[in-house]
A and B are shown apart, each in its own frame.
Chain A
């Protein structure tokens, strides 16, 4: 297991480097010049501008600039936000916990929906429960997150007036009231993301349990006289989850996309809304850094999926 983890970690490094190359290329190919303002400013003589360009290495060949940028990123020098006048890494550290909490809670909700519903549907295929669950799952993953978000606001905040629709980071209450307020305002974003994910995972779980449940070893387990519960939970589910983990890992980028949308709808101060603000205000260092953080998060979650995979299927780690 140890060598397996190590090998997975080593595989993650080239992917991160690849992503950083893609990001840097995009930025380098993009039109626009950070010194554009100086060029139109009559108080700055052209030779000063050229000297500045040379000083900041803008005239170097592109691969030199890439290594310069990479070493700066590795040293923790992520640049300085044009708009908020704060170091980018501080800005991101401020925002990251909220995003992680919302995404984490919604993934847990998605699992809590998808596993029982998917397994139960597959244990009784084409029953009424299965039909209703499958149709609902279909509707659930066809509903775009931005639309469900608005529907939830319309229903729970405007019509019923149960939940607040703007996420506030500065809640003054203390103790239990503080927790209660935070839970209340997180319900809708977590539901929107979690139900969307849960709907598509339900389909994966159902189809992979269906593939496994007809295999011979399951029949053997039944004929040994094991209880149906034990057969399903101990023998079927563990094997059925292996392909599901792969599919879930492949969906991670989409999860972060959904998180950006939900953060924007509910005004959650996470890194997704930071990214959108930064894009709308041309705050390039923040845009670059947040995109890179998203890339790192995707890689980290893929790594977790790989480790889960090794745990679910011990054959893999010995290969």
Chain B
């Protein structure tokens, strides 16, 4: 199943990367003659309430949704690995403080805080980086900033067992600095479970971004992410169900594919779980 998931995900990534150059209909062409049409030859996925082509909007939105997922995952991994590594190497009071912070973050209500942060900081970042990039940075930072905790715990646990292994001791005896021990010897061996957690994080980040857009708090209205398409389509559910279905199916497929990949990776990297 993991292979199927990987194929689906690769197909989606290729589609959103190459799609816009093959399917040259603009995302903003308004055509009131073709409002809320079902799928046809001119518009393979139909049109929305302004007669805009859904296929090109889906492809464009997919770029943003998938990019947010990947970037937020990288952000979460970076923070999580750093905090976990510091806690795992330092031990003692630094470790206790960092783990208290991790537990605190784990018990924060994430979606309300996400919405609060975006509500408070959206306008000022828009001013600095422009509407699209500003919101992108904000969303990636905020989603990533709320997903590093599991990674940090995993890395810390790995460090505790790995730092006592003979090969690390050998490196220490040869006079390797702490940084070198961490980067060259401990970290590469701790990465297995982290990669699994990171894969699942991509799915979670895509979901978080779609949820925010669905609640009307994500990207500005003229940028059609998948969540935004669903948000716009929900008032036309009775007359144009194809609109909601395409956007929702895209989110669902991406998340399902990534979860399958994560599951397969876990089975491959953690032989204990396989019967």
**Interfacial residues, chain A to chain B (CB-CB below 8 A):** 15, 18-19, 22-23, 26-27, 30-32, 125-126, 138-139, 141-144, 146-147, 150-151, 153-154, 158, 207, 210, 250, 252-254, 256-257, 260-261, 264-265, 275-276, 279-280, 287, 290-291, 294-295, 297-299, 302
The answer to whether A15 touches B104, judged by C-beta atoms less than 8 angstroms apart, is: yes
Which B220-275 residues sit within 8 Å CB-CB of chain A? 227, 230, 234, 237-238, 241, 244, 248, 251-252, 255-256, 259-260, 263, 273, 275
How many residues in B have their beta carbons less than 8 Å from beta carbons of A? 43
Known: A144-B255, A150-B248. A261 touches B113 (CB 8 A): no
The answer to whether A153 touches B256, judged by C-beta atoms less than 8 angstroms apart, is: no
The answer to whether A298 touches B107, judged by C-beta atoms less than 8 angstroms apart, is: yes
Q: Report chain B residues within 8 Å CB of A291.
A: 109, 112-113, 116
Interface pairs (9), CB distance under 8 Å = A138-B260, A142-B255, A146-B214, A146-B248, A210-B275, A253-B109, A256-B109, A287-B119, A290-B112
Q: Report chain B residues within 8 Å CB of A302.
A: 107
Q: Give how many A-B residue pairs fall within 8 Å (CB-CB).
A: 127
The answer to whether A275 touches B252, judged by C-beta atoms less than 8 angstroms apart, is: no
The answer to whether B207 touches A32, judged by C-beta atoms less than 8 angstroms apart, is: no
Decide if the interface of chain B is mainly helix, strand, loop or mixed. helix
Residue B110, interface by CB 8 Å: yes
Shortest CB distance A288–B (Å) = 8
Q: Report chain B residues within 8 Å CB of A22.
A: 104, 108, 113
Decide if the interface of chain A is mainly helix, strand, loop or mixed. helix
Pick from B109, B115, B255, B259: contact of A276, CB under 8 Å = B115
Assembled-state Cα–Cα distance A298/B146 (Å) = 15
The answer to whether A279 touches B109, judged by C-beta atoms less than 8 angstroms apart, is: no
Q: Most B CB atoms within 10 A — which of A125, A141, A146?
A: A146
Q: Report chain B residues within 8 Å CB of A142.
A: 203, 252, 255-256, 259
Shortest CB distance B264–A (Å) = 12
Pick from B107, B109, B217, B241: contact of A15, CB under 8 Å = B107
Top-9 shortest CB links A-B: A257-B111, A147-B248, A30-B120, A294-B109, A142-B256, A31-B124, A142-B255, A291-B112, A18-B104
Residue B169, interface by CB 8 Å: no
